[in-house]
Amino acid sequence: MTDESRTTLLGHGAFQIDLVRECLIFEGEPQTLRHQSFQVLYYLACHPCRTVTKDELQSAIWKETCVTDNALVQCIAEVRRALRDDPKTPTYIKTVPRQGYRFLVSFIEEKGASERSLSAIHEMSPAKLKTPPPVSAELKQPLRFRAVAVSAAFLLFLGLTGLQLFTRHSVHLKREAELPKIAGVKRIRMESIRNETGDPEFNWVDSGMPEMLKAGLQNIPGVEISDDEKGTVRVQAVLSGSMIRQGYGYSLKIDTLAADGHLLGSDFIPTERKKFPLEASLIASLVAEHLGLSVPDRAIQEEALTSDSMDAAGYYQQGVALAERFETKEAIELLKKAVALDPGFAMAYARIGYAYAVVDFAPKQGLPYLLRASSLSDRLTEKQRLYIAAWRATAEENYDEAARIYATITQRCPHDPEAFRQLAKLQRSLEHLDAANATLQSGLTANPNASSLFNVKAIVELAQYHYSAAIVSAQEYLRLSPNEPNAHDTLGMTYQQAGKLYQAIAEFSAALSLDPEFEPAIVHMGDVYFQAGRYEEAIQQYRRYIGAAHTDAARAIGYGNIAAVYRQQQNLKEAAKAAEREIHYDPHAIWNSLVIAVDEKHAAKVHHYEVALQSARNSQERGTPGDRRTIAYQRGWLALQRGDRSKAIASFQEALQHIPATSGIDLHDSCLADAFMQLGMQQKAETEYRRLLANNPSDPFALRGIHSIAHNM
């Protein structure tokens, strides 16, 4: 049969199906599809406007080969991407729940059509059509191989050498029926993706592509990503791969290996540079299939990054990974490189805003980036737009709205731990601790190995003074993420607030051994030294923190802590200098300056700072509302200075009804006991100190108070 006697193109509107080249031509541009995906598209096109069941499609495309439903789901997702078809408002392919799929348009035959009409093809039954009829065995081979007459001797050579042709369908379907499937949760270790193209423009894939694959795998239930690069944590699978040349283009090659080293599957995906994130998402779903895991439709829907720049996508993925580890300085630098390369990169702008407003202490710096992301969000997914809206609400200090949006994401995407994490953090800061616990329970039920949820769980338990439980949660966070500085930092915080200062120092040191400029661990180490009365070491750590900080808000925190240490040492001159630097970096950070003005009996300054205090706000934690505990404490302290004993005691009692700060030293926990001491009410002071020691037998401030009472008797 000649090409002229065979249907070569089926056309409809903006696209055509080319049967000879096995590709989809969309708006004049060829769209490469995997072999099975192309056959699914063609089969649906041959049976338009009726529901084609999943069983019918599997029988027609895969014949007797045993495959899971995921194989068909992946093909449908790939075809939809090529057609720019939104599954929620489909133009071409409609999902018929619990049945199959319906192709919504009919085709016309174009140049080279056979005399047999397309309507005759439509009428063929599945029994007669095990594969779409015009696609012959000859056509199933890639075009470049059909152009050459392959001799039997050469085929024998291929068999002996095990040479793998760069077409996944030629090897994978046979393996799929033979390889063992492992049930349950799978822990996966990512190895580097090697650049074997010879093109230095692809050097970024070594670190950038694993981050893309991680992002895709984390959307799949049952997958746990191990951050243990040294291989000391037991895993069920290892991923490795390379970027290779394929003809005139490139392909991603990913090998999925079992723990004992045997190959579970190899995937070759022809790639276009502008589609790297989409292909990484597809490969993630294929890897999950090799492991026998169920892949729902939502897990393989693309995350639109709105960038055609390969380098920008690489910077983006690395920046996102660093931000999630609270390495915000490095994250923001990489994300800014991404938008410099691609000024229309919506999600890169969004992640810069997120890093400033949610991960760090600078919501005002983050807001312009989030507004820019919103203006570019027309190509993003609904989920991405929801996240941007939540981060923007946080930057605008509209925390109730942010919580509402996060709750919406948890309902629509229950296997996305990030939304549960952010919602629980906000609920904690709003002092809705029962709601935070319920959110975390739901999140961990759907994502039992989500390390980020154990991080927040520890923080919520600290707010409830459940120190032992908080330590256990932090230890689980560290077990799941042994190479994250923040995991060591969280465990250090739980030890610190439980009064286990030596263990806290050890964990902060471990965090800094992984990243010497990890800001949270630096400042928390200073807090421990302050708490232990090692003031010079505390000041040294706070100065180190200022040097590592990359935002004015963080520098202000460092100088404020130095001022507090000098005040504790009764060194008002140095305290005033540090407080002046604090205000320089954050004009709202006036508390230390007010206290020093009171100590110096400088009435004009006291009045000035008291007026300014009314408009200032205290931030309790990154991306959360103001600290109500501190506000009540400040009101009580000022009342005590004026001699208003009843207001002071009432304000301190109110302060203790609010949750303590997430990290650092809770200088207010002993405020009521200290007030009783200052007012000469030693019996009440002792009762309050002993209450604190019942919660934490190692509380240094309570121990000092008890010692002072004993010394005065």
Per-residue model confidence as pLDDT tens digits over 185-231: 577 888 878 888 888 777 777 777 777 777 677 667 677 777 655 55
CA separation, residue 113 to residues 16, 108, 123, 352 (Å): 13, 10, 18, 53
Instruction: Report the distance separating Cα 236 and Cα 184, nearest Å.
Output: 10
Strands 249-258 and 15-18, by their bridges, are unpaired
Task: List the one residue out of 225, 155, 215, 214 whose CA is nearest residue 185.
Answer: 225
pLDDT at 227 (0 to 100) = 63
Provide the pLDDT confidence category of residue 468 given band limits of 50, 70 and 90: very high
Which of 36-40, 108-112, 116-120, 498-502 is the least confident region?
A: 116-120
Q: Is the pLDDT of residue 646 over 90?
A: yes
Final residue in a domain of this structure, among 337, 364, 396 = 396
Instruction: Please tell me whether residues 43 and 115 are part of one structural domain.
Output: yes
Residue whose token pair is 């927040």: 456
The answer to whether the pTM exceeds 0.75 is no
- Residue 405 falls within a domain, yes or no? no
| One-letter identity of residue 603 | A
Final residue in a domain of this structure, among 357, 377, 396 = 396
- Helix or strand (DSSP H, E) at 93: strand 93-96
237 by DSSP, 3-state: which? strand
Instruction: Report the distance separating Cα 306 and Cα 388, nearest Å.
Output: 14
- Residue 450 falls within a domain, yes or no? no
Instruction: Report the distance separating Cα 525 and Cα 673, nearest Å.
Output: 26
* Residue 355: Cβ within 10 Å count: 29
Provide the pLDDT confidence category of residue 294 given band limits of 50, 70 and 90: low
Instruction: Please tell me whether residues 289 and 185 are part of one structural domain.
Output: yes
Instruction: Report the distance separating Cα 485 and Cα 521, nearest Å.
Output: 8
Instruction: Please tell me whether residues 331 and 262 are part of one structural domain.
Output: no
| One-letter identity of residue 407 | A
Instruction: Please tell me whether residues 274 and 345 are part of one structural domain.
Output: no
pLDDT at 130 (0 to 100) = 36
Task: List the one residue out of 150, 180, 178 whose CA is nearest residue 165.
Answer: 150
Under 8 Å between Cβ of 276 and 309:
no
- Residue 221 falls within a domain, yes or no? yes
Which of 110-114, 460-464, 703-707 is the least confident region?
A: 110-114
- Residue 126 falls within a domain, yes or no? yes
pLDDT (average), residues 521-525 = 94
Burial of 515 (0-12, 13-18, 19+ CB in 10 A): buried
pLDDT (average), residues 468-494 = 92
Tokens for 392, please give them. Answer: 């923007």
DSSP 8-state symbol, 358: I
Instruction: Report the distance separating Cα 47 and Cα 28, nearest Å.
Output: 24
84-114 residue pLDDT tens:
888 777 888 888 877 788 887 766 554 444 3
Instruction: Please tell me whether residues 342 and 213 are part of one structural domain.
Output: no
Q: Look over the chain and give the mean of its residue pLDDT values, rounded to a whole number.
A: 78
Residue whose token pair is 């089926």: 10
Tokens for 538, please give them. Answer: 């505390």
CA separation, residue 509 to residues 12, 191, 328 (Å): 64, 27, 19
CATH code of the domain in which 675 resides: 1.25.40.10
CA separation, residue 428 to residues 326, 432, 558, 659 (Å): 19, 6, 25, 9
Instruction: Report the distance separating Cα 129 and Cα 123, nearest Å.
Output: 10
Is the C-alpha dihedral spanning 634, 639, 645, 647 positive or negative?
negative
No. of helices (H) and no. of strands (E), the chain: 33, 13
| One-letter identity of residue 513 | S
Under 8 Å between Cβ of 256 and 290:
yes
Number of domains in the chain: 4
| One-letter identity of residue 336 | K
211 or 630, greater pLDDT: 630
pLDDT at 121 (0 to 100) = 34
R_g (Cα) of the chain, nearest Å:
31
Instruction: Please tell me whether residues 173 and 288 are part of one structural domain.
Output: yes
CATH code of the domain in which 389 resides: 1.25.40
Phi-psi region of 206 (alpha: psi -120 to 50; beta: other; left: phi over 0): alpha
Instruction: Report the distance separating Cα 9 and Cα 114, nearest Å.
Output: 10
Instruction: Report the distance separating Cα 366 and Cα 361, nearest Å.
Output: 10
Burial of 183 (0-12, 13-18, 19+ CB in 10 A): exposed
Half-sphere exposure of 100 (CA within 13 A, CB side): 18
pLDDT at 361 (0 to 100) = 72
- Helix or strand (DSSP H, E) at 193: strand 186-195
285 by DSSP, 3-state: which? helix
Instruction: Report the distance separating Cα 144 and Cα 249, nearest Å.
Output: 13
- Residue 27 falls within a domain, yes or no? yes
Which of 494-503, 525-534, 632-641, 666-675 is the least confident region?
A: 666-675
- Helix or strand (DSSP H, E) at 437: helix 433-446
Instruction: Please tell me whether residues 284 and 327 are part of one structural domain.
Output: no
Instruction: Please tell me whether residues 370 and 283 are part of one structural domain.
Output: no
Strands 186-195 and 237-246, by their bridges, are parallel
Task: List the one residue out of 510, 591, 585 whose CA is nearest residue 550.
Answer: 585
* Residue 598: Cβ within 10 Å count: 18
Instruction: Report the distance separating Cα 207 and Cα 433, nearest Å.
Output: 38
Domain that holds residue 71: 3-140
The string of DSSP codes covering 33-79 is: --HHHHHHHHHHHHSTTSEEEHHHHHHHHHTT----HHHHHHHHHHH
Instruction: Report the distance separating Cα 464 and Cα 457, nearest Å.
Output: 11
* Angle at alpha carbon of residue 542, lines to 540 and 547, rounded to 5°: 95
pLDDT at 271 (0 to 100) = 67
CATH code of the domain in which 264 resides: 3.40.50.10070
Tokens for 15, please give them. Answer: 């696209």
CATH code of the domain in which 119 resides: 1.10.10.10
Under 8 Å between Cβ of 326 and 518:
yes
Task: List the one residue out of 420, 455, 418 whose CA is nearest residue 436.
Answer: 420
- Residue 16 falls within a domain, yes or no? yes
Q: Is the pLDDT of residue 649 over 90?
A: yes
Tokens for 604, please give them. Answer: 């004009």
187 by DSSP, 3-state: which? strand
- Residue 459 falls within a domain, yes or no? no
Instruction: Please tell me whether residues 126 and 20 are part of one structural domain.
Output: yes
Instruction: Please tell me whether residues 387 and 288 are part of one structural domain.
Output: no
* Residues in Cβ contact with 687 at an 8 Å cutoff, skipping those fewer than 6 apart: none
12-31 residue pLDDT tens:
566 788 776 777 887 777 77
Instruction: Report the distance separating Cα 543 and Cα 529, nearest Å.
Output: 13
Instruction: Report the distance separating Cα 274 and Cα 423, nearest Å.
Output: 33
129 or 417, greater pLDDT: 417
Instruction: Report the distance separating Cα 442 and Cα 410, nearest Å.
Output: 9
Provide the pLDDT confidence category of residue 620 given band limits of 50, 70 and 90: very low
Instruction: Please tell me whether residues 263 and 391 are part of one structural domain.
Output: no
DSSP 8-state symbol, 621: S
51-89 residue pLDDT tens:
888 888 888 887 656 555 667 877 888 888 888 888 777
* Residues in Cβ contact with 340 at an 8 Å cutoff, skipping those fewer than 6 apart: none
* Residues in Cβ contact with 482 at an 8 Å cutoff, skipping those fewer than 6 apart: 227, 228, 232, 233
Instruction: Please tell me whether residues 286 and 331 are part of one structural domain.
Output: no
Tokens for 593, please give them. Answer: 């300056």
- Residue 147 falls within a domain, yes or no? no
Tokens for 148, please give them. Answer: 């050459």
Final residue in a domain of this structure, among 376, 396, 416 = 396
| One-letter identity of residue 580 | E
Provide the pLDDT confidence category of residue 489 given band limits of 50, 70 and 90: very high
647 or 118, greater pLDDT: 647
